Amino acid sequence: MENSEDGKRCIIWFLWKQNKSESEILYEIEKVYGNKCPGKSMVYKWIDRFNDGHSTVDDNPRPGRPKTCSNQENIKIISNILDKDRRVTLQQLEEELGMSKSILDKILTEQLGMSRVLSRWVPNCYLNLKGLKGFVFVASSYGFLRRSQGSLIV
């Protein structure tokens, strides 16, 4: 714990409780942590918080959306959308789900293992098939090909 941010705050709080001055607290923290010491402004910020009655070393929760949208619930929602319509675009997903295109692309390619082939999302495992045989398998599996007088048309 001593190397964590909470540990550093605990030391600041402990020294503050001993009625040390701001400069003494900063000196003691620098002596213990060296180049991994929190900055002067951060130390002074926490001293000010303690002076204002803040009684814990926990940081306040920050507003805004969570750091990641790549949770299992969103992955399942995207997977269900793809099951219904393989031609859905990133822009349509962005509008429907309110997620950025970069997050959606990451979920589709890394989490779901999909790639874009002829404007449809296709599992990467099909793309590992070699040559024309693989293309015909993928194309026929996803309805890319249709027959016209005995020949295949993409």
- Residue range 107-124, pLDDT digits in tens: 888 888 877 766 666 666
- Whether 87 is covered by a domain: the verdict is yes
Domain count, the chain: 3
- Whether 117 is covered by a domain: the verdict is no
Q: Answer for the pair 34, 3: CB distance below 8 angstroms, yes or no.
A: no
pTM of the predicted protein model: 0.41
In terms of C-beta distances under 8 Å and separation of at least 24 residues, what long-range contacts does 78-83 make, across chains too?
78/104, 78/107, 78/108, 78/112, 79/112, 82/108, 82/112, 82/114, 82/121
- Whether 59 is covered by a domain: the verdict is no
φ, ψ for residue 101 (rounded to 5)? -65, -35
Q: What is the pLDDT of residues 55-110, one digit of tens each?
A: 777 777 767 655 566 678 888 888 898 888 878 888 888 888 888 888 888 888 88
Range of the domain at 77: 67-112
Q: Which amino acid is at 32?
A: V
- Whether 60 is covered by a domain: the verdict is no
- Whether 62 is covered by a domain: the verdict is no
